[in-house]
């Protein structure tokens, strides 16, 4: 199998399983990763969230609008900064973020079930190293024509 197929099919399977675990929450597919990010970076600005979640600014605006409509987040302007909004989780958002964190944990447990912990650690160390290299390659190179 090709790398692109493994990556895309793995992502699709993972997202399907995640959304099945979160189906009772009313979250849409783009919202869990934003909630996950905000759980660790509450008060981040929209650019930081977009960069960390690999979401285009226009798409993030749509995701945040949906989250705001569900009272998961609130947007605040910093003193003197009229251009940037900072995104904060509401109490409901923190509760939902905890649901997301637990769903990700269950999904990771299921993913690595029956795999020895030392193999998981070895895989994660190699995957993180290669991921950073690949990301650097793709962030700095011109797209292939």
pTM (2 d.p.): 0.85
Write the CA distances from 139 to 2, 36, 54, 135, 144, integer angstroms: 21, 23, 12, 6, 12
- What three-state secondary structure class fits 26? coil
The model's pLDDT over 22-36, given as tens digits with 9 standing for 90+, comes to 999 999 999 999 999
Q: Quote the CA–CA distance of 78 and 87 in Å, as a whole number.
A: 10
The four Cα atoms 94, 12, 3, 138 give a dihedral, to 10 degrees, of: -50
Phi, psi for residue 73 in degrees, rounded to 5: -135, 165
The model's pLDDT over 73-110, given as tens digits with 9 standing for 90+, comes to 999 987 766 677 899 999 999 999 999 999 999 999 99
């Amino acid at each position: 199998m090709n790398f692109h197929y493994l990556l895309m099919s793995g992502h699709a399977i993972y997202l399907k399983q995640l959304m099945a675990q979160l189906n009772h929450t009313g979250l849409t597919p783009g919202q869990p990763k934003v909630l996950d990010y905000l759980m660790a970076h509450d008060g981040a600005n929209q650019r930081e969230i977009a960069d960390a979640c690999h979401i285009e600014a226009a798409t993030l605006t749509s995701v945040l609008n949906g989250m705001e409509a569900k009272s998961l987040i609130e947007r605040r302007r910093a003193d003197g900064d009229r251009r940037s909004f900072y995104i904060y989780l509401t109490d409901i958002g923190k509760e939902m973020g905890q649901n997301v964190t637990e769903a990700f944990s269950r999904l990771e447990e299921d993913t690595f079930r029956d795999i020895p912990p030392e193999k998981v650690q070895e895989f994660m160390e190699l995957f993180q190293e290669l991921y950073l290299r690949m990301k650097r390659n793709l962030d700095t190179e011109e797209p292939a024509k």
